[in-house]
Amino acid sequence: MKLDRNNILTALSIALFFLFVWWANHHLTSYAVRIWEDTLIFLMLSAGYNLINGVTGQFSLEPNGFVAIGAYVTAILILTPAQKESMFIIEPMVPWLANLHMSFLPALIIGGIVTAIVGFLLGFPVFRVRGDYLAIVTLGFGLTIRVVSNNTITITNGSLGLKGIPTYTNIWWCAVWVVIAMIVIMRIVDSAFGRAMKAIRDDEDAAIAMGINTLWMKQIAFVTAAFFEGVGGGLLASLITIISPTVFTFFLTFELLIIIVVGGLGSMTGTAIATVLVVWGSELLRVVEQPMNIFGLHIPGIPGMRMVVFSILLIVIMIFAREGIMGQKEFSWDWLFNKFKGKRA
């Protein structure tokens, strides 16, 4: 890496970010820290999600299924053999998995790699035929992974799920991983690979005619997203400590979709802004599902109302404000300096 102005500034802002994490960890309530942990994990997930949807333009609905894989793999690897033995009461776990035990970091990485492999296998049949069917295949995969985890009792403990997952995840784990994810993804975007992905998004036939192997480029985007979704799943599993086939529902995917649409499809800067807005906004919206008293009028809680609000929000943005907050624009130091000098970026 070169030591020029931009890289030094980037390094400084990462340092500033870790300073914020340190501050948040010491001065915020545990509730607020928890929401920040969610925010950081969601940022990692949505950055990957935006790489395939926004940058490469291939509409996909994979996150909840992929997060589930990462969560299960990591959970199985960090649970102790004793815990697993007492938990698997319907049928015992397959022996080689039951005795497998490792620390958090390798477990997270393996979770990411397994998810990436699944992504590769799933992407192959779909991208061979232009990727139109990616969304429905990944949607189907999310449903299928639920069916499978319900039935593979000797691996996943079926519908009982896994309990007592060690709580390694804290705000530092989340912060470090989100920095890694953002650096990797933004570097891919800012390279010949990113240009090829954007070319596919803008006009796939022309991209093919330019000699771009579109199948391969789509796979790189999809597999990268899958890896970070797997890691994110591992972090989440260790944060919520209980996972079962019904934990990672389509709502997770939907929330990420809202994030990348609000931020601007194709803009990682927009994704970062939107993640903070949506995760914290979603917390505030919990109010509408709880019973409340307004001026003496009792309104019972309406389950599902939050999701109705979200879906209307998504449709309205798509129709009236398709660009989102940032469009496809990206923050860069050059842009900032030019702004100061009053020049056109």
Partner 1 sequence: MNLTIVLQQLVNGISLGSLYGLVAIGYTMVYGVIRLINFAHGDIMMVGMYFAFTGIAMLFLPWWAAFLLSMLASALVGVIIDRVAYKPLRNASRISALITAIGVSFFLENSFLVIYGGVPKAFPVPSVFGGAINIHGVIFPNIAIITPIVAMIFLMILLFILHKTKYGMAMRALSFDFETVRIMGVNVDLVISMVFAIGSFLAALSGIFWAMRYPAINPLIGIMPGLKAFAAAVLGGIGSVTGAAIGGFIIGISEILVVALFPSLAGYKDAFAFLFLIFVLLFKPTGIMGEDLERGRF
Partner 2 sequence: MSNIILKCENLTMQFGGLVAVNKFSIQIREGMIFGLIGPNGAGKTTAFNMITGNLKPTSGKVYFYDKDITGMKPYKIVSLGMARTFQNIRLFSNLSVLENVLTGYHHKLKYNLIDTILRTPRFYKYENQMKEEGMKLLESVRLEEKANFRASELPYGERRKVEIARALATGPKLLLLDEPAAGMNPQETTDLMYFIQEVKEKFDLTVFLIEHDMKFVMNLCETIAVLDHGVKIAEGKPEEIRKNPDVIKAYLGDINA
Residues that bind partner 1 (CB under 8 A): 53, 57-59, 61, 122, 125-126, 128-130, 132-133, 135-137, 139-141, 143-144, 147-148, 150-151, 205, 250, 254, 257, 261, 265, 302-305, 307-308, 310-312, 314-315, 318-319, 322
Q: Is residue 213 a contact residue for partner 2 (CB under 8 A)?
A: yes
Burial of 199-228, coded b for 16+ CB within 10 Å and e otherwise, reads bbbeebeebeeeebebbebbbbbbbbbbbb
Q: Which of 75, 122, 212, 226 binds partner 2 (CB under 8 A)?
A: 212
Nearer to partner 2 (CB atom), residue 230 or residue 266:
266
302 binding partner (options partner 2, partner 1, none; Cβ < 5 to 8 Å by kind): partner 1
Residue 62 Cβ vs partner 2, minimum distance, rounded to whole Å: 20
The interface region with partner 2, picked from 15-23, 183-191, 245-253, 272-280 by CB under 8 A, is 183-191
* 53 vs 238, beta carbon nearer partner 1: 53
> Interface residues for partner 2 in 34-63 (CB under 8 A)?
none
User: What CA–CA distance (Å, rounded) separates 84 from 161?
Assistant: 11
- Told to check if 267 binds partner 2 by CB under 8 A, we report no
Q: Which residues 6+ apart lie within 8 Å of 112 measured at CB?
A: 70, 227, 228, 230, 231, 234
What is the distance between the alpha carbons of residues 180 and 338, in angstroms, rounded to a whole number?
28
Cα torsion 245, 115, 144, 79 to 10°: value is: -20
Please give the structure tokens belonging to residue 305: 């109302």
Beta bridge partners of residue 298, listed in sequence order: 293
What is the residue type of 31?
Y
d(CA 57, CA 131): 10
202 is a site residue for partner 2 (CB under 8 A) = yes
Helices (H) and strands (E) in the chain, counts: 16, 2
Residue of the chain from 153, 188, 313, 325 that contacts partner 2 (CB under 8 A): 188
196 contacts partner 2 (rule: CB under 8 A)? yes
- Separation between Cα atoms, residue 189 and residue 183, nearest integer Å: 10
DSSP letters, 207-232, are HHHTT--HHHHHHHHHHHHHHHHHHH
Could you say which of partner 2, partner 1, none residue 210 binds, taking C-beta under 5 to 8 angstroms by partner kind?
partner 2
| # residues near partner 2 by CB under 8 A | 29
Shortest Å distance, C-beta 324 to partner 1: 11
8 binds partner 2 (CB under 8 A): no
227 touches partner 2 (CB under 8 A): no
255: tokens are 């929330």
Per CB under 8 A, does 193 bind partner 2? Answer: yes
Chain residues that interact with partner 2, rule: CB under 8 A: 1-2, 183-184, 187-188, 191-193, 195-196, 198-199, 201-203, 205-214, 220, 266, 328
